Amino acid sequence: MQSQPDLSQLSHAQKDELIGLLCARLDSMQKLVDELQGRLALNSKNSSKPPSSDGLNKPAPKSLRVAGQRPTGGQKGHPGSTLRQVAHPDEIVIHHVPDQCASCQRNLPFAYVGETRQVFDLPTLKFKVTEHRAMQAICSCGQAHTGQFPHGVNATVQYGARAQAAMVHLNQNHAVPLQRTAALMEQLFGLPVSQAAVCKAAVAAKEALEPTVERIGQASVTAAVLHADETGVRVAKTLHWLHVLATDTLSWMGCHPKRGTQAFEELGLLQQFRGTLVHDGWMPYKALECQHALCNAHHLRELTYLFEEQGQVWAADMIELLTHANHTDNLNCTAGKATNYTGAKYQAQVRDLRHLYDAILRQGEQANPIAASSGKRGRTKQSKAVNLIGRLRQYSDEVWRFMTDPNVPFTNNLAEQAVRMPKVKQKISGCFRTIEGAHTYCVIRSYVATLHKQGANVFDALVSTFEGKVPQPNFG
């Protein structure tokens, strides 16, 4: 252990120097403690960390909506999904009354329907085996003639289109693991299925759907507004990245070992895009030659951290301003988008909000001065607040794009919704064993997510796919 200096032997100048060193060391240690405490306070509510990283200390849900903005329960005009009687039931069971009155024993007159009750249930599910027989005949001249099997009937024993569609629907669309998919096929339909059969059905679906998914990708990059995001996945024990492109009606996914520019170039879609790209502000997106709109949900989470964990009042003011602007934009949209966005009254509102935005940023800059240069090479490390203020200042037009373009939303929610099911599959299955398996998932998921957005029946579409007729989505 290092011996302590004898303070009685030190001069006043030496004592002052020692006190200065101790104060500097304490200040450095306090900054380190604050930084570590800040890391511990990060969660999915106040940062970009995924909800899966919260563990058992998951924060209570907290909505950013203003209290009283909407009534609780179903909203006016919502069709609802209450079970109602149908006009033409499939089966009618008559429950007769007795022939005589239980009180006076007289014969009862003609009976009528007093009350009806309907039971909605599933029929007994059982697989059906269809045998195809190719007839043969030999002409007197010796020429043999054989009947032709229909398209798709290629083996002596095989699974039909509906059985294969059910396997793919469960395993690829609903993230049911292979073993459970095989078990469900047997328990629901009495049809024994191996895990290899489920994989074979998925590969067959991928091969049939690839041309359609390529068209989905090309249609996505011709849209006026496109949402993009990426998330990490484990493929063959290594980190890969699932890239997502989404519009209101289209979803496209692709898997690549890289996350940034190299992936964009080799996947070959984002480099073609020239509209407005909505994203989370990651630098490779900003390098693309298109207009940009930043996701304000990310900003609100970072501002929440600064306000709740560091007590920075300007962050609360910025949260209130952005949520109010979003509400104003929503009201303007419901009144008629294109005309109102160019109206003088609305433009004046936007200018006033931008002036207030700049004023709040100045408050934040006063409360969080930029750290002086450390003298080392590279950029000097700044606090989270300074970095956020810098981004909000430098990319202010991208932050406010939702107020100036009627087609741009407040958040990047479309892309984040697209990556939600892949994360569910990853949580259940852990990883993809091969890159081919990851590619198969991306193709099938792109197709079914697109059909789901467009209101189509996914199962019926998969059945048609296995019958050789792939239903095409609307690419417009």
Distance CA 33, CA 10 (A): 31
Model pLDDT, residue 309: 86
**396 and 455 together in one domain:** no
Distance CA 459, CA 453 (A): 14
**Residue 308 pLDDT grade (very low, low, confident, very high; cuts 50, 70, 90):** confident
pLDDT in tens, 388-434: 999 999 999 999 999 989 899 999 999 999 999 998 888 888 788 99
**202 and 269 together in one domain:** yes
| Residue 109 maps to a domain | no
| Range with top average pLDDT, 73-77, 232-236, 327-331, 337-341 | 232-236
**259 and 328 together in one domain:** no
- Spatial CA neighbour of 48 closest among 188, 231, 262: 231
Model pLDDT, residue 22: 82
Q: Which residues pair with 234 in a beta bridge?
A: 239
| Residue 333 maps to a domain | yes
| Residue 446 maps to a domain | yes
**Residue 41 pLDDT grade (very low, low, confident, very high; cuts 50, 70, 90):** low
**In total, how many domains does the chain have?**
2
Nearest 5°: CA angle at 422, between 418 and 423?
105
**335 and 465 together in one domain:** no
**400 and 329 together in one domain:** yes
| Residue 30 maps to a domain | no
Report, in angstroms and rounded to the nearest whole number, the Rg of the chain calculated over CA atoms: 32
**286 and 300 together in one domain:** no
Q: What percent of the chain has pLDDT above 90?
A: 63
**Residue 51 pLDDT grade (very low, low, confident, very high; cuts 50, 70, 90):** low
245 against 3, higher pLDDT: 245
| Residue 110 maps to a domain | no
| Residue 277 maps to a domain | yes
| Residue 447 maps to a domain | yes
Sign for the CA dihedral angle at 389, 390, 395, 396 comes to: positive
- Please say whether the beta carbons of 269 and 252 come within 8 A: yes
pLDDT in tens, 324-355: 999 887 777 665 555 566 678 888 889 999 99
Write down the pTM of the prediction.
0.82
**360 and 435 together in one domain:** no
- Please say whether the beta carbons of 272 and 259 come within 8 A: no
Distance CA 217, CA 137 (A): 50
**Residue 67 pLDDT grade (very low, low, confident, very high; cuts 50, 70, 90):** low
135 against 330, higher pLDDT: 135
**209 and 342 together in one domain:** no
| Residue 183 maps to a domain | yes
Strands (E), 105-150: 136-138, 144-146
- Please say whether the beta carbons of 369 and 442 come within 8 A: no
| Range with top average pLDDT, 1-10, 151-160, 323-332 | 151-160
Structural domain boundaries, residue 318: 296-368+381-411
Residue at token pair 């006043």:
12
Amino acid residing at 218: Q
Distance CA 179, CA 161 (A): 20
Model pLDDT, residue 5: 64
**357 and 300 together in one domain:** yes
Mean pLDDT of the chain: 88
**283 and 302 together in one domain:** no
**300 and 152 together in one domain:** no
Q: What percent of the chain has pLDDT above 70?
A: 89
**345 and 398 together in one domain:** yes
